[in-house]
């Protein structure tokens, strides 16, 4: 699939594309050349000269099983600056868990959505550029969208989930988050939990 993207900058918008291509691939190619952007990543208390920052420290505590400390650090980041998208993302991730609880999925969705809204406010109106995953400061926003899509899927909001995963693919056509594998299941209306169980996905 990816060899088509090698021609992204040279493609004729009027060229007929193979009908076997997924719809989102055709949309990416038809969109033609687009500007590439990198967002600003805001992490309160981070020191550029140090390897460790509050977010990575929170993740480390989570790996140790100290979720209370993780929560304290992430909430502290947001108290200092609500523009810290990655804090919303990690709070959403730890709230969502394995996705079995619809209540937790709803709570997680609120946190992911908050991160998405922060990112959207940083983008110019009518933004139609690329936010490649390879530019690391774009990752929090892309992760926020991905988490939002998973929550929407888990809660049976298939149209909304499809739009979210489609949006990620348009922003990052190289698909570092693997949305191309998720999208067909969402479009078929497959249950999130059943799909994860059947395919043993580490979502």
pLDDT digits (tens, 9 = 90+) for 179-197: 999 999 999 999 999 999 8
Count Cβ atoms within 10 A of the Cβ of residue 55 and give its class: 0-12 exposed, 13-18 middle, 19 or more buried: buried
27 burial (CB, 10 Å; 0-12 / 13-18 / 19+) is: middle
Q: What is the pLDDT of residues 91-134, one digit of tens each?
A: 999 999 999 999 999 999 999 999 999 999 999 888 999 999 99
Q: Which domains does the chain have, with CATH numbers?
A: 22-40+52-198 (1.25.40.10)
Residue pair 60/80 in contact (Cβ under 8 Å)? The answer is: no
* pTM of the complete model: 0.88
Residue 3: predicted pLDDT: 33
Average pLDDT over residues 150-176: 97
């Amino acid at each position: 699939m990816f060899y088509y993207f090698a021609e992204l900058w040279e493609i004729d918008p009027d060229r007929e594309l193979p009908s076997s291509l997924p719809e989102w691939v055709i949309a990416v190619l038809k969109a033609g050349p687009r500007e590439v952007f990198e967002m600003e990543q805001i992490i309160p208390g981070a020191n550029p000269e140090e390897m460790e920052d509050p977010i990575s420290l929170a993740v480390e505590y989570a790996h140790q099983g100290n979720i209370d400390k993780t929560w304290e650090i992430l909430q502290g980041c947001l108290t200092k600056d609500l523009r810290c998208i990655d804090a919303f993302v990690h709070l959403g991730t730890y709230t969502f868990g394995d996705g079995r609880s619809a209540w937790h999925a709803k709570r997680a969705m609120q946190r992911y959505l908050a991160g998405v809204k922060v990112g959207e406010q940083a983008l110019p109106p009518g933004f139609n550029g690329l936010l490649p995953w390879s530019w690391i400061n774009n990752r929090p926003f892309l992760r926020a969208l991905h988490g939002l899509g998973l929550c929407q899927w888990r809660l049976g909001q298939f149209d909304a989930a499809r739009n979210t995963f489609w949006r990620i693919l348009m922003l990052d056509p190289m698909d570092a988050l693997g949305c191309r594998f998720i999208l067909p299941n969402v479009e078929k209306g497959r249950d999130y939990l059943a799909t994860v169980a059947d395919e043993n996905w580490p979502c």
